[in-house]
Chain A
Amino acid sequence: MKLVLQNLTKKFPSRNRKSKEEVVAVNDFTFEIPDGELIGLLGPSGCGKSTMLNLICGLQKPTSGKIFFGDDDVTDLPPEHRGVGLVFQNYALYPHLTVLQNITFPLENLRGEAKMTKQQMVEKATQIAGLVQIDGLLERKPSELSGGQQQRVAIARALVKMPRVLLLDEPLSNLDARLRLQTREEIKRIQRETGITTIFVTHDQDEAMSISDRIVVMKDGVLHQIGKPQDVYDDPVNLFVAKFLGTPPINVFEGFVKDGKLHIGEDIVLDVKGAADEDVWVGIRPEGFVLDENGPFSCTLSGLEVMGRDVSVVSTNEHSANPVIRSIISAENKVDLSSPTVRFALKPKKVFIFRKSTEERIRFDIG
């Protein structure tokens, strides 16, 4: 099912009685999600991600704008008629019901033609339980399950009605690191097998990058960028998106462009043909540094972090916006620790420049 949002806006009345100012949780959102894709809705806490989800599933009404599932306008439909499945952040499994009863709960509400017999419900629930691999746990209560198992039950309950759209609210935030890795693969697998258009909300860019077909980066209710994870990473539209994606995070420096050359302090680090002279933020991905004795960019070396395959060179520079600069180089390179300074050459594709005032990306020709 294709999902289309058109100029979707949600405003909340201000809590403070004195100021009439409204809180805009979602601001003029327009995008289209193709059928059967897994979309990661990514943004820092409080940016309106959960409100987005509530708007799509119908728990909240938008102030303006429209939502389409396929060709149906569902903007004014109540949640039960939209055909959505929602997995809550804390799973919201009914603690007094067994796993089986939890999964069949949505089916028991079906009326009219869709009404199912007890037998059919159990069959359907068992089938879904098989899909999420909890077949052996059907008679247990949620309190007797681990976090990962509860998560699966919650997904099963959301899937059992075969929703047109599946929504997951921070699905992995209550799991430990190892389980998180495992579960995100699992979510990807389940989504592939069912082919249901799925949106999941997260503030963890790693999570979003690793399993999404497409990511939507938002901040303060505003859509910043939408695209394939690698494309968004390689080609961010502004400083926020560049900073939000990637671990270790991008290194940001104060610099300026003069005569088609990018300066960071004294150093002329890169040719940036086509960029006008102005003050800029320079973002350099950790993998954008190359150790080079004659490289144009010099930093003060403060140490090495060896991570097996890679070595992370930690250095400082007075023009850096972060306290330290992390650059990742292959472990085969030898770093001269006796020298107080380290010199880098830069990979042009891994260097982004942004206008100082608006933080918008400035494009330049890669020579």
Chain B
Amino acid sequence: MDNRNSKAWLYLLPAILFLGVFMVYPLIDVFIYSFEEGYNSASQTFFGVGGYNYSYVLHDPYFLQAVKNTFILVIITVPLSTGIALLISLGLSSIKPLKDLFQTIYFLPYVTNTLAVGLVFMILFRKTPYTDGLANLFLSLFSAGPVDFIDGPYWAKMFVLCFYTVWVVMPFKILILTSALASVKQDYYNAAKIDGTPRFRVFTKITLPMISPMLFYLIITGFIGAFKAYSDAVALFGTNLNAAEMNTIVGYVYDMLYGDSGGYPSYASAAAIILFVIVLTITCINLLVSKKHVHY
């Protein structure tokens, strides 16, 4: 028995070692940092232990702005991207000709570099002395605009960020949902057809429950992913996100560590722990809801 136990530990060792060094230890460390007041990274000393870091972060207008941005981003993009992805996958699974081609096209954004895509979006939306950008050209058709989407009003910038996020996360969701739809057995649809079930009822009573486990998986990972958003904002609005009012919580953490106003690992840790608590809460709520609605 002992022999088997030690063997098991031996097999687990590589994973434990790496996870321990690169995940568990930093996690604990971040937690400790967040309570060390006045930490100085050069001398590695601190004045005392307490909740001041949290209080500072929670009163920092930049942080509050970042929280607001992140929440708006999450609340808009997660339902929107999941919904549109579901519609597209339903479309994809009901067409026959050129199905593979469309699947490939819809999957392309997934394999495209975020920053490259960000550049394309800047060209679409940015106003320059020469052009108002493609989006404004489109708006002018309805005799609206021009709006500066990159340096202009808050809502315009938020629109671009949401649009971009939805576009970037969609391919993965489409991929998952098309395979989930394909795995629903044809027999169920045949049975429904013989009973004369209307299409909408087939969708709500058969298709949706059958793919609900995958749908909830996407919503949960979607929430987590959107809370961690950062690189998308950087790609669109550059590194000085605080000035652009487009910072996210992760962006705030990064700025506190390495940004122009950085060098405060304690504040960064406190912000990171706050983010962790938010994500944990939302995920727990998600799981509770999904237990009620996801079958089998």
CA separation between A161 and B196, bound complex, in Å?
11
Q: Are A95 and B195 in contact (CB under 8 A)?
A: no
Q: Are B190 and A59 in contact (CB under 8 A)?
A: yes
Q: Are A79 and B206 in contact (CB under 8 A)?
A: no
Q: Are B296 and A143 in contact (CB under 8 A)?
A: yes
Q: Are B190 and A80 in contact (CB under 8 A)?
A: no
Q: How large, as a class, is the contact surface on chain B?
A: 20 to 34
- Known contacts A96-B296, A143-B296: A109-B191 contact under CB 8 Å: no
Q: Are B187 and A84 in contact (CB under 8 A)?
A: no
Residue A94 lies at the interface, judged by CB distance under 8 Å to chain B: yes
Chain B residue numbers with a CB within 8 Å of A94 are 188, 205-206, 209
Q: Separation in Å of the A301 CB from the closest CB of chain B? A: 51
B 189-218 to A, binary, CB cutoff 8 A, 1 in contact else 0: 011111111100100011001101000000
- Known contacts A80-B194, A86-B191, A109-B198: A92-B210 contact under CB 8 Å: no
Task: For chain A, residues 135 to 187, give those with C-beta under 8 angstroms from any C-beta of chain B.
Answer: 141, 143, 157, 161
Residue B295 lies at the interface, judged by CB distance under 8 Å to chain A: yes
Q: Separation in Å of the A100 CB from the closest CB of chain B? A: 14
Q: Are A109 and B295 in contact (CB under 8 A)?
A: no
Chain B residue numbers with a CB within 8 Å of A106 are 195-196
CA separation between A95 and B191, bound complex, in Å?
13
Nearest B residue to A102, CB-CB = B191
Residue A282 lies at the interface, judged by CB distance under 8 Å to chain B: no
Q: Are B193 and A105 in contact (CB under 8 A)?
A: no
Chain B residue numbers with a CB within 8 Å of A109 are 195-198, 201
Chain A residue numbers with a CB within 8 Å of B188 are 92, 94
Q: Are A80 and B195 in contact (CB under 8 A)?
A: yes
> Is the contact region of chain B dominated by helix, strand, or loop, or is it mixed?
helix
Residue A81 lies at the interface, judged by CB distance under 8 Å to chain B: yes
Nearest A residue to B187, CB-CB = A92
Q: Are A96 and B191 in contact (CB under 8 A)?
A: no
Residue A68 lies at the interface, judged by CB distance under 8 Å to chain B: no
Q: Are A88 and B196 in contact (CB under 8 A)?
A: no
Residue A85 lies at the interface, judged by CB distance under 8 Å to chain B: yes
Q: Separation in Å of the B206 CB from the closest CB of chain A? A: 6
Q: Separation in Å of the A110 CB from the closest CB of chain B? A: 8
Nearest A residue to B206, CB-CB = A94
Q: Are B296 and A161 in contact (CB under 8 A)?
A: no
CA separation between A108 and B192, bound complex, in Å?
11
Q: Are B210 and A96 in contact (CB under 8 A)?
A: yes
Nearest A residue to B186, CB-CB = A92
Residue A57 lies at the interface, judged by CB distance under 8 Å to chain B: yes
Residue A238 lies at the interface, judged by CB distance under 8 Å to chain B: no
Chain A residue numbers with a CB within 8 Å of B96 are none
Q: Separation in Å of the A171 CB from the closest CB of chain B? A: 14
Q: Are A161 and B195 in contact (CB under 8 A)?
A: yes
Q: Are A92 and B196 in contact (CB under 8 A)?
A: no
Q: Are A92 and B190 in contact (CB under 8 A)?
A: yes
Residue A330 lies at the interface, judged by CB distance under 8 Å to chain B: no
Residue B4 lies at the interface, judged by CB distance under 8 Å to chain A: no
CA separation between A94 and B202, bound complex, in Å?
11
CA separation between A143 and B295, bound complex, in Å?
11
CA separation between A143 and B296, bound complex, in Å?
9
CA separation between A84 and B195, bound complex, in Å?
8
- Known contacts A80-B193, A86-B191, A88-B187: A95-B198 contact under CB 8 Å: no
- Known contacts A59-B190, A88-B187, A90-B187: A96-B295 contact under CB 8 Å: yes
Task: For chain A, residues 32 to 58, give those with C-beta under 8 angstroms from any C-beta of chain B.
Answer: 57-58
Interface residues of B (CB under 8 A from A): 185, 187-188, 190-198, 201, 205-206, 209-210, 212, 295-296
Given contacts A79-B193, A105-B197, 8 further A-B contacts (CB under 8 A): A57-B194, A58-B194, A88-B187, A92-B185, A94-B188, A96-B296, A109-B196, A157-B191
18 contacts between A and B (CB under 8 A): A57-B194, A59-B193, A80-B196, A84-B194, A85-B194, A86-B190, A86-B194, A90-B187, A92-B187, A92-B191, A94-B188, A95-B210, A95-B296, A105-B195, A106-B195, A108-B201, A109-B195, A157-B191
